[in-house]
């Protein structure tokens, strides 16, 4: 009897380090959500900021970044987001900050604030709206490729080359007079061009694509994947976790809201 008890104790002691390690690993690898935040324009004009919900006043943006900093949110870069996903783990209170379109107000207003807080952000420029590439009238100033190269700790993805236009339908959709082959080729050409330009002009491997107006379909997902995009960003509202698919990443659209509304919303 005593020999059997001693043997059990011996086996338990042998297994104890493994059991402790297993418990620690489970805690360390707990799966947390990520809040992906979407911004468009940052303005120092009260009137302009109040003219559209997507335009955030610079003071409001600073207050939001201060809230993230003071409340220990973990602002991660796009590369960290990708690596954490591959490792099936996100740190607690993770936030990914994104900006669509590539307006010059990012460099003029947002970049300095992000730098002061040592926060990374990801820009999704419309490549056809860069200097000397635009073929249509553009109502707001956009960043040049030169500006994109000037900034540190900023990552880039595509917002397509020229799929924001809409006549009877949005450009992301198949036109009535388009064959399936023509539609697929048009979308493919646009996405490949945007990726090529950003790859060359930023010296980054562009892996992410944000859909114009958040519109996409099964065909465009497949085309984007074949074009080399590994992360497809939507405007579907919600948080993201490692059980979800990188081809349909949800985001929260940030508005010119009060800090109380922002804090309730992000939590």
Q: How far is 42 from 58, CA to CA, in rounded Å?
A: 6
State whether 193 and 248 are in the same domain.
yes
Regarding whether 39 and 20 lie in a shared domain, the answer is no
Note the pLDDT of residue 138: 59
267/243: higher pLDDT: 243
Together in a domain, 56 and 133 = yes
Given a cut of 70, is residue 87 above it in pLDDT?
yes
- Same domain, yes or no: 15 and 136: no
117 and 231 share one domain = yes
DSSP conformational letter for 158:
B
Count up the domains in the chain and report the number: 2
Sign of the alpha-carbon torsion through 87, 72, 237, 44: negative
Domain span holding position 13: 1-30
pLDDT at position 4: 46
- In the predicted model, what is the mean pLDDT of the chain? 88
The confidence band for 167, taking pLDDT boundaries of 50, 70 and 90, is confident
pLDDT tens sequence across 35-49:
999 999 999 999 999
Residues 45 and 24 in one domain: no
| C-alpha–C-alpha distance, residues 181 and 135, integer Å | 25
Computed over its alpha carbons, how large is the radius of gyration of the chain?
23
Same domain? For 121 and 234 the reply is yes
CA distance 123 to 158: 8
Whether residue 44 is found in the same domain as residue 147: yes
Give the tens place of pLDDT for each residue, 123-156.
999 999 876 565 555 556 889 999 999 999 999 9
10 and 91 assigned to the same domain? no
The Cα–Cα gap between 36 and 84 comes to 14
Q: Dihedral (C-alpha) 115, 119, 120, 121: value to the nearest 10 degrees?
A: -90
- Looking at the fold, whether 42 and 154 belong to one and the same domain comes out as yes
Quick one: pLDDT at residue 1?
A: 46
Q: Are residues 24 and 42 in the same domain?
A: no
Do 109 and 150 have their domain in common?
yes
Q: What CATH number is attached to the domain comprising 218?
A: 3.20.20.370
- CA dist 156 and 199 (Å) reads 9
């Amino acid at each position: 009897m005593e020999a059997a008890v001693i043997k059990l104790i011996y086996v338990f002691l042998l297994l104890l380090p493994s059991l402790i390690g297993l418990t620690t690993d489970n805690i360390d690898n707990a799966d947390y959500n990520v809040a992906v935040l979407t911004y468009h324009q940052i303005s120092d004009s009260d009137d302009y900021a109040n003219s559209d919900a997507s335009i955030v006043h610079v003071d409001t943006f600073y207050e939001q970044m201060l809230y993230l900093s003071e409340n220990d949110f973990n602002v991660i870069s796009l590369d960290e987001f990708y690596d954490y996903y591959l490792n099936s783990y996100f740190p607690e209170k993770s936030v990914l900050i994104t900006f669509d379109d590539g307006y010059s107000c990012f460099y003029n207003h947002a970049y300095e604030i992000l730098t002061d807080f040592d926060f990374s952000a990801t820009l999704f420029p419309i490549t056809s709206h860069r200097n000397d590439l635009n073929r249509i009238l553009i109502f707001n100033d956009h960043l040049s490729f030169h500006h994109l190269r000037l900034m540190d700790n900023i990552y880039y993805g595509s917002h397509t080359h020229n799929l924001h236009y809409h006549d009877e339908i949005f450009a992301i959709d198949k036109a009535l007079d388009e064959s399936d082959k023509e539609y697929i080729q048009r979308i493919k050409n646009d996405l490949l061009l945007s990726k090529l330009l950003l790859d060359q002009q930023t010296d980054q491997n562009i892996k992410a694509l944000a859909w114009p107006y958040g519109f996409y379909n099964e065909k465009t997902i497949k085309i984007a994947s074949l074009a080399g995009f590994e992360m497809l960003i939507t405007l579907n509202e919600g948080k993201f976790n490692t059980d979800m698919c990188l081809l349909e990443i949800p985001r929260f659209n940030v508005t010119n809201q009060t800090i109380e509304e922002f804090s309730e919303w992000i939590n």
